[in-house]
């Protein structure tokens, strides 16, 4: 009960921060959705980073490293440390400048003005909503997994997910963007601090990492965990596309609009890679080292399930494969290590640090609420007809609705956290990134090019989901001229050896360019608003 009570103390703290933010908030829509565009440099950096570090980073990364080895760090952390700061520098700063100049609250508002479009913007909003829901779901999954493991099974998965969903929903409902930013700042400090403590404590409990690594190197089956031998170059290159999704996520792009001044981006771009290393390195390394922790019953059971799946996988029926995959999944690896090697009180504090990352769905829920109220409710006359107060109330009501939906789906969501995020959320938003580039930097882009890319993105992700639901057994599905074109793998889908995110994003880019060149460009007045430098105010 000690770790559980400490985690509940943490949950009570973040709930109070949301209430405190509510007391210091204004009544307008811009204050609720963007914190009045007033976030200072420190809060902006920590909250922006915190909102991007979710259950995918802490639980998903350690689970993926447990199954695939140290290559997980180079797949995601190394590429993200380069690509995400660059997108913040090139896309985030321009979004901020246009938002400040024209009063935009969401990226779709900018796209509607930029491309002179109406219902196409609505479709893009709906597409972004569909892609963001899986990311919210994995946070609920992570909350259920974390609380269940920390409590030693005393709190079941469904109850843990419900607790996290209710707490997040509450402080987002009351505090809006200001409450979300303050909570994310507090949470980021927690999991940045506890990452180094966790790796030291668990390393000491395991008898030192050097002997563990040396032991792994003597076992041929585990030595590959310390190399990239099991990862093809095509699969490796595919992961370079995934960080492109970061700036296209509505919660990231909307957060870029909250900064008080442009200078806030400077420190964020410089320090972001260091923050990624501080979080990903412990998660990945501990996930790899868990393969040697056979004295932990839960980990030993996972290793046995993995071995059975590798030896008998093709001969098993779908239900048996799914059951073994669930047993072998490593989303709770870090929590099992804490339970085994950390003192109870410290396990509770470290568990709170893990919960801080798991609960980063707050900004995604708020982003969905912002898009629905601004891009749908306000755009189609709701704000003018019913007033700004009802607009904010609608946003709060949507926070409740989307949280409930995410929780219900999370109870039935298949697969590991890492794979759910990569296959659906990241693929969809990476494919939407060319739209953001075209809107911000390419004068010749048109609404029809944007529509073509958005339709393709939605259709491609839907096709992947249907394909993986129908074809469950690993194997080659389409072979042409001796080349494996489409393959169902244990982790998802392979297209010519690449993950779907690579071809889907490239085709999206081609569609934006090709269709835009074939259709009429926006008017000169619109282009002047977006691509001409604003005149300096005349001296008085």
The CATH code of the domain that includes 498 is 1.20.1730.10
What phi, psi does 170 have (nearest 5°)? -70, -50
pLDDT of res. 131: 82
CA 534 vs. chain centroid, Å, equals: 35
Structural domain contains residue 376: yes
Query: Is residue 123 pLDDT above 90, yes or no?
Result: yes
Strands across the sheet with 492-495, in order?
Answer: 475-480, 483-489, 492-495
d(CA 331, CA 141): 10
Residue 515 confidence (pLDDT) = 97
Q: 530: pLDDT confidence band, cut at 50, 70 and 90? A: very high
**Which residue range forms the structural domain that includes residue 122?**
2-531
Examine residue 273 and state whether it is found in any structural domain, yes or no. Answer: yes
Higher pLDDT, 292 or 86: 86
Distance CA 352, CA 193 (A): 11
Average pLDDT of the segment spanning 127-153: 79
What is the pLDDT, as a whole number, of residue 180?
Answer: 86
Whether 19 is in a domain gets the answer yes
pLDDT on residue 540? 45
pLDDT, residue 442, reads 95
Query: Measured between alpha carbons, how far is 185 from 35 in angstroms, rounded to an integer?
Result: 14
Q: Tens of pLDDT along 233-280?
A: 888 888 889 899 889 988 899 989 999 899 889 889 999 998 888 888
Mean pLDDT, residues 340-353: 77
Contacts of 405-411 with CB under 8 Å at 24 or more apart are: 405/133, 406/133, 406/136, 406/137, 406/139, 406/140, 406/165, 406/361, 406/365, 407/140, 407/161, 407/162, 407/165, 409/133, 409/137, 410/137, 410/138, 410/140, 410/141, 410/144, 410/161, 411/158, 411/161
The model carries a pTM of 0.83
Lowest mean pLDDT among 95-104, 259-268, 487-496: 487-496
- For residue 333, being part of any structural domain is answered with yes
* pLDDT given for residue 358 in this prediction: 67
How many other C-beta atoms are found inside a 10 Å radius of the C-beta of residue 293? Answer: 22
Residue with tokens 């491309």: 115
Q: For the chain, what is the domain count?
A: 1
- Domain membership of residue 539 (yes or no) is no
How many angstroms separate the CA atoms of 492 and 465, rounded? 9
For 55-67, write each residue's pLDDT tens digit. Answer: 667 777 888 889 8
Would you state the pLDDT for residue 400?
Answer: 86
Q: Is residue 10 part of a domain?
A: yes
Tell me, what's the pLDDT at 536?
52
Dihedral Cα 453, 177, 391, 450, nearest 10 deg: -10
What is the rounded distance in angstroms from the CA atom of residue 139 to the CA atom of residue 360? 7
Cα–Cα distance, 260 to 509 (Å, whole number)? 32
Lowest mean pLDDT among 148-157, 427-436, 456-465: 148-157
Q: Are 369 and 395 in contact (CB under 8 A)?
A: yes
Q: Let me know if residue 82 belongs to a domain.
A: yes
- Count of helix runs (H) and strand runs (E) in the chain: 29, 3
Report the alpha-carbon distance of residue 486 to residue 507 in Å, rounded. 16
Question: With bands split at pLDDT 50, 70 and 90, how would you rate the model's confidence at 416?
Answer: low
Q: Is residue 536 part of a domain?
A: no
């Amino acid at each position: 009960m000690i770790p559980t009570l400490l985690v509940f103390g943490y949950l009570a703290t973040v709930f109070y921060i949301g209430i405190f933010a509510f007391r210091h908030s204004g009544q307008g829509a811009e204050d609720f959705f963007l914190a009045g565009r007033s976030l200072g440099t420190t809060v902006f950096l920590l909250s922006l980073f915190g909102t991007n570090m979710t259950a995918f980073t802490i639980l998903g990364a350690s689970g993926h490293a447990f199954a695939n080895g140290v290559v997980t760090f180079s797949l995601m952390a190394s590429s993200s440390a380069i690509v995400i700061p660059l997108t913040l520098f090139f896309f985030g700063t321009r979004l901020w400048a246009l938002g400040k100049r024209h009063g935009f609250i969401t990226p779709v508002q900018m796209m509607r003005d930029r491309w002179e479009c109406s219902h196409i913007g609505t479709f893009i909003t709906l597409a972004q909503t569909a892609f963001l829901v899986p990311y919210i779901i994995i946070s609920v999954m992570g909350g259920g997994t974390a609380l269940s493991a920390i409590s030693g099974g005393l709190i079941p998965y469904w109850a843990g997910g419900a607790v996290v969903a209710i707490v997040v929903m509450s402080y987002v409902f009351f505090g809006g963007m200001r409450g979300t930013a303050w909570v994310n700042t507090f949470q980021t400090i927690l999991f940045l601090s506890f990452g180094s403590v966790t790796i030291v404590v668990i390393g000491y409990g395991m008898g030192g990492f050097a002997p563990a690594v040396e032991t792994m190197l003597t076992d041929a089956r585990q030595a590959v965990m310390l190399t990239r031998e099991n990862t093809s170059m095509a699969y490796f290159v595919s992961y370079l596309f995934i960080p492109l999704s970061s700036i296209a996520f509505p919660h990231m792009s909307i957060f870029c609009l909250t900064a008080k001044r442009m200078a806030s981006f400077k420190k964020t771009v410089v320090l972001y890679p260091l923050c990624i290393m501080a979080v990903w390195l412990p998660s990945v390394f501990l996930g790899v080292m868990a393969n040697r922790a056979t004295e932990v019953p839960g980990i030993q059971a996972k290793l046995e399930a993995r071995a059975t799946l590798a030896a008998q996988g093709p001969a098993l029926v779908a239900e048996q494969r799914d059951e073994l995959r669930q047993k072998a999944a490593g989303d709770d690896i870090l929590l099992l290590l804490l339970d085994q090697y950390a003192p109870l009180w410290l396990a509770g504090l470290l568990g709170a640090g893990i919960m801080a990352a798991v609960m980063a769905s707050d900004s995604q829920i708020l982003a969905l609420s912002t898009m629905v109220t601004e891009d749908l409710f306000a755009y189609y006359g709701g704000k003018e007809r019913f007033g700004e107060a009802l607009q904010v109330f609608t946003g709060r009501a949507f926070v409740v609705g989307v949280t409930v939906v995410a929780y219900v789906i999370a109870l039935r969501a298949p697969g590991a956290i890492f794979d759910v995020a990569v296959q659906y959320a990241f693929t969809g938003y990476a494919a939407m990134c060319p739209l953001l580039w075209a809107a911000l930097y390419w004068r010749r882009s048109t609404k029809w090019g944007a529509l073509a890319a958005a339709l393709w993105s939605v259709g491609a992700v839907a096709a992947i989901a249907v394909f993986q639901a129908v074809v469950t057994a690993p194997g080659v599905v389409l072979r042409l001229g001796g080349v494996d074109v489409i393959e169902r793998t244990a982790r998802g889908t392979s297209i010519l050896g690449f993950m779907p995110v690579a071809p889907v994003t490239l085709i999206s880019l081609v569609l934006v360019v090709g269709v835009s060149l074939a259709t009429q460009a926006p008017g000169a007045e619109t282009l002047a608003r977006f691509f001409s430098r604003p005149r300096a105010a005349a001296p008085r």
